[in-house]
Structure 1
Amino acid sequence: MVRVRSLLAVLAVATLSACAAPVEQHHRTEVVATTPIVADLVRHVAGERAEVTALMPPGVDPHTYEPRLRAVRDIANADIAFTNGLLLEPHSLSTTIEEALPDNAPMVPLAEQVTSYGGKLKPLVENIALDTVWLGMRIVGKADSEVEIVTEKIDGPEDSKATAYITSTFGVPELVFDEEGDNYFLPADAHTHVSWSFSKPGMYHLTFAAKVKGELVARNTINVAVGVDAPNDVLDEGHVDIAVDLAHKNIMLRGDSPDGTNIAYDYDPATTTISVPNSTLQQIPAQYRFMGRPGDEVYLLPQAVLGKHVHGEVDPHVWHNMANVRAMVEAIRDKLNEVDPAGAQIYSSNAAAYIAEIDRVNNEVRMILDTIPKKNRHLVTTHDGYSYLGDAYGLSIAGFVSPNPSVEPSPRDIIALTRTLENLHVPAVFIEPQLALRANHLTVTADKLGIQVCRIYGDSLDDEVPTYLDFMKYNAHSLARCLGQSEGK
């Protein structure tokens, strides 16, 4: 804040000293935009009608950029300011814009407008280890006694161990099973949250039997992919239960429907696999010896009662989904029309032409990325900024060095990254140009495993990708080239 006030004081002196000079009349709308990507979008809509100034130079990290005096001058002379918003820009820059922008000039956080124009936002996940499916147990229907759930068979990788347990109010674990033959009782129409641990990566096949008063009611096998690709339909998010249906004498998976609603939906265990990603890897605590030796690694699927720890904020990296950029362009058009009504026809015409180009490139990007084989569609990067890219184009965000580029990775982050690369056999990892010097953990790990290191653009533009459309096409070609090859090449 002190730096912001100092810059504003210097600007005020410079402005007063220039009062006596003749002022040239400018007819073009003065626009400032925070990032090079936002500025490029605005330029395509504004055309020659407005003067667009990017506050950040190409190639800088927008998370850490500090405004300079020239930026304060540009803001003070602006008719409108466009930002990405959603806390992408550092607080110092946001404060500078708020304090230096003229009172009658609007500040428009574009990412916060996308849902009004058909775009989609995603929450930021605070703890990636909890960003998983929640797998519980449920009894569906009526019975005149408790239902006994027996773990008949645990078929997993060699020398592996699988356990399930419930954490009580005071944190004491209550075992559901840790070996074949273990049983657990649930009342009819009851539901419980369960935590699951797996000692090794690979496929696990867990066979459960349900009995009422000793009589077999149902039997089925639940398939779990731990740290590896699932062979069929995968459940990797939402709330899912291993459900005993007493009326139909069946054991199935009951969870949220595929369309994202909370309506109960039944999945066939024969064609569905529960996913336990590499991000769940952690060390066994001393009080959980039933999982294995304390300090050893284990894949832990936590019970839903812990909750998915999500920031109140939203992931700001919305531009990796071109449908969101289409929405941002529409918002730019409307805001420029408000500030400069006389130019509305120009802005609307430019926006329509640019949206058509965005749609064309979006189809091109999708066709390029569709060439990546299913087994290689895993993206590993330096930080967590590509969830929109994954959602839009069918890529799995398999791992990253740290959740935030400004945060050093923990030992657990490095272990999880290494196991991700080993278990998924990814042919390449990706590093942003401006983060290359900080990506030593990723490059060292990749080099050790013989994995190629390729380039991806995350937050900015440069001479090689001077426009947003160049940015998206470059990333598509880089991903397809590096992930489209055979393992180890």
Structure 2
Amino acid sequence: MRGHPRRTTAATLTTACALLATAATGCSGLQAGSSDAALTVSATTAIIADLVERVGGDRVDVTSIVPRHGDPHSYEPSPGDAAEVARADVVFSNGLLLEEPGIMKMVHTNAPESAPKIAVAEKLEQYGGTVMKLEEDLGLDVLWLGWAVEGEVAGDGSQVRTTATKMEGPGELRVYLTDTLGRPKVYVDSADGLDAKDSFTLPPEAHTHVNWAFSRPGTYRLTVEGQTETLDGKAEKFGSGTFTFTVGDATEPPKGATVLDAGHADVALDAETGTVHVRADEEKSGERTEHPAGEVVLNVPDRAKESVPKEKPYAFLGEPGADLWVLPQAVIGKHVHGDMDPHAWEDVANAQAYVRRVEAELIRNDPEGRATYEKNAAAYLKELGAIDQEVARKLATIPEHNRELITTHDAFGYLAEAYGMRVAGFVVPVPNREPSAAEVEELGDTIREKRVPSVFLEPNLAARADVLKRVAQDQGVEVCTIYGDSFDDKIHDYVSMMRHNANELAKCLGKDA
């Protein structure tokens, strides 16, 4: 956001930006505290806040929950965030499970009942936008196994809790997630027995990535159960199931069982039907299949064998250097999401749909401001139309053979679809450990095979990109910067973000790259 990293005042903003309309990086150094704002608005991200400010003008006072440098997939709200939300007349979120579940739980717990809670992207088509399915194909050579919950759960902010209740096997099982800064969060650890702490919650229809680590080869059986939880403290159990894992090449699966050993799958709990199963995405057809818990085997082959990292945060996995069989989480950081790609703003035409939705909701909540909102929205839509054409012209200069986009995060599907690019993949290493020499070589092979002159790093993921930088240097390709979910100290607003992305892509992938 412009000015203060968490808060701006639209009254000051409108005047300042009128004087600096030609500045490429937006306005900065502005102070909070609009005295004539008709609406106090909380937005979950700085990008959403920026769009609301541009439409709201001097009638809105906007606060962003996730700060400028923050990651909406992993940000944990503070008491100060809760206090700001408690003042809000309206709350805008992106929706489509972009935001970390704790953010939305905080919103539903603290926002006034009278405050509408608007997930802008979830009705995007009604305002001229387009929503795409989230494509996640990282080409792992072992099973990519996540957790998922399915089915509707009544009540705002409701969650589904998954609890591991029993584990049998020759060693220990740990299920954990590594965040953006490389810190592990343990969900299940059988070493000290299983109890209430071996559990976690997800919002309805959500999916998350995790690591599955086994200490010895052999057959493991893990029993999990589901429970719905509402904000008023009500909890209701709805189903359980036992899943079989075969660890190591010498471990034979039971006869007649369906074996999954590659591709993308989830241990899934359905709150509506009470069933617990594995859902798998078929690699060739793309169709999703379901396998009852007792009829499927999840294979962890010897090619998944690693060593316990020496870093202290991973001491819970065992002695440093000890053998470990790992199904990796594959995508860096907390990354809870649904089936639809939430990063719709990376297509400027969708940002225009966001603006139309914001305009309609502000008018609904402040009818007296209709003229202001309509005037501001019309001007901003015109500006967005111009930046859309500018982005298209810039990216059209990239030679066809260079239109491969390799990034640190799966946030650019809309940009690729809208402007004739191709998402070639993500090159962040598995974040629970340093990659092996073979994986570093494979990463180099991928960059070499795609024959791209550059790969792209998001500023908020820079702390975990050392390997990417090293391999890119070895391959003689450049590491460039692209913005996905957040701003930083250099880029403060949406238009500047999209202009930067277009310029950087054209420079780093262009004919002279």
Query: In structure 1, what is the Cα distance between the partners aligned to 2:352 and 2:136?
Result: 28
Structure 1 segment 76-155 matched on structure 2, within 5 A: 76-129=86-139
Deviations 1:266-306 (A, max 9, x none): xxxxxxxxxxxxxxxxxxx99xxxxxxxxxxxxxxx77467
Q: Given the two structures, how large is their TM-score scaled by the length of structure 1?
A: 0.56
- Counterpart of 2:41 (choices 7, 28, 31) is 31
> Which residue in 2 is equivalent to 1:464?
490
CA-CA distance at 1:111 after TM superposition: 1.3
The one-letter code of the counterpart of 1:104 is S
344-353 vs 417-426, which moves further: 417-426
> Which residue in 2 is equivalent to 1:366?
392
> Which residue in 1 is equivalent to 2:405?
379
Query: In structure 2, what is the Cα distance between the partners aligned to 1:406 and 1:74?
Result: 34
Query: What percent of counterpart residues are identical?
Result: 41
Structure 1 residues 407 and 371: alpha-carbon distance in aligned structure 2, compared to 1, 3 A threshold: farther
> Which residue in 1 is equivalent to 2:54?
44
> Which residue in 2 is equivalent to 1:422?
448
CA-CA distance at 1:344 after TM superposition: 1.1
> Which residue in 2 is equivalent to 1:443?
469
Query: In structure 2, what is the Cα distance between the partners aligned to 1:435 and 1:360?
Result: 30
Deviations 1:308-331 (A, max 9, x none): 689852111111001111000000
CA-CA distance at 1:427 after TM superposition: 0.3
Deviations 1:27-75 (A, max 9, x none): 5211111111000000000000111111122111121111112211111
- Contact kept? 1:326, 1:355, Cα under 8 Å: yes
> Which residue in 2 is equivalent to 1:68?
78
Deviations 1:442-478 (A, max 9, x none): 2122111111111111111123211100000001000
Deviations 1:228-249 (A, max 9, x none): xxxxxxxxxxxxxxxxxxxxxx
- Contact kept? 1:333, 1:351, Cα under 8 Å: yes
- Counterpart of 1:307 (choices 287, 297, 312) is 287
Query: In structure 2, what is the Cα distance between the partners aligned to 1:473 and 1:408?
Result: 35
- Counterpart of 1:353 (choices 375, 379, 388) is 379
Alignment size in residue pairs: 297
The one-letter code of the counterpart of 2:44 is T
The one-letter code of the counterpart of 2:123 is Q
Query: In structure 2, what is the Cα distance between the partners aligned to 1:450 and 1:45?
Result: 44
The one-letter code of the counterpart of 1:85 is G
Structure 1 residues 308 and 322: alpha-carbon distance in aligned structure 2, compared to 1, 3 A threshold: farther
- Contact kept? 2:38, 2:366, Cα under 8 Å: no
Structure 1 segment 215-254 matched on structure 2, within 5 A: none
Instruction: For structure 1, list consecutive stretches of 5 or more residues without a partner in the other structure.
Output: 1-23, 131-284, 287-301
CA-CA distance at 1:113 after TM superposition: 2.0
> Which residue in 1 is equivalent to 2:183?
none
Deviations 1:193-220 (A, max 9, x none): xxxxxxxxxxxxxxxxxxxxxxxxxxxx
- Contact kept? 1:380, 1:429, Cα under 8 Å: yes
Query: In structure 2, what is the Cα distance between the partners aligned to 1:395 and 1:25?
Result: 45
- Contact kept? 1:67, 1:92, Cα under 8 Å: yes
The one-letter code of the counterpart of 2:76 is E
CA-CA distance at 1:410 after TM superposition: 7.7
Query: In structure 2, what is the Cα distance between the partners aligned to 1:87 and 1:71?
Result: 19
Query: In structure 2, what is the Cα distance between the partners aligned to 1:428 and 1:317?
Result: 22
In structure 2, the residue corresponding to 1:342 is in which secondary structure? Answer: helix
In structure 1, the residue corresponding to 2:113 is in which secondary structure? Answer: coil
Query: In structure 2, what is the Cα distance between the partners aligned to 1:101 and 1:400?
Result: 37
Query: In structure 2, what is the Cα distance between the partners aligned to 1:410 and 1:430?
Result: 19
CA-CA distance at 1:418 after TM superposition: 3.0
Query: In structure 2, what is the Cα distance between the partners aligned to 1:86 and 1:409?
Result: 32
Based on CA coordinates, which of the two structures has the bigger radius of gyration? 1
> Which residue in 2 is equivalent to 1:399?
425
CA-CA distance at 1:383 after TM superposition: 1.7
Query: In structure 2, what is the Cα distance between the partners aligned to 1:408 and 1:89?
Result: 26
Structure 1 residues 391 and 27: alpha-carbon distance in aligned structure 2, compared to 1, 3 A threshold: closer
Are positions 1:340 and 2:320 aligned together? no
The one-letter code of the counterpart of 2:352 is R
Deviations 1:164-196 (A, max 9, x none): xxxxxxxxxxxxxxxxxxxxxxxxxxxxxxxxx
Query: In structure 2, what is the Cα distance between the partners aligned to 1:126 and 1:329?
Result: 28
The one-letter code of the counterpart of 2:367 is P
Q: Given the two structures, how large is their TM-score scaled by the length of structure 2?
A: 0.54
- Contact kept? 1:401, 1:417, Cα under 8 Å: yes
- Contact kept? 2:138, 2:426, Cα under 8 Å: no
Structure 1 segment 204-283 matched on structure 2, within 5 A: none
Structure 1 residues 416 and 339: alpha-carbon distance in aligned structure 2, compared to 1, 3 A threshold: farther
Structure 1 residues 303 and 99: alpha-carbon distance in aligned structure 2, compared to 1, 3 A threshold: closer
> Which residue in 2 is equivalent to 1:240?
none
- Counterpart of 1:324 (choices 334, 342, 350) is 350
In structure 2, the residue corresponding to 1:353 is in which secondary structure? Answer: helix
- Contact kept? 1:427, 1:485, Cα under 8 Å: no
Structure 1 residues 25 and 327: alpha-carbon distance in aligned structure 2, compared to 1, 3 A threshold: closer
- Counterpart of 2:416 (choices 390, 404, 408) is 390
- Contact kept? 1:402, 1:408, Cα under 8 Å: no
Query: In structure 2, what is the Cα distance between the partners aligned to 1:325 and 1:464?
Result: 21
- Contact kept? 1:401, 1:413, Cα under 8 Å: no
Query: In structure 2, what is the Cα distance between the partners aligned to 1:35 and 1:371?
Result: 32
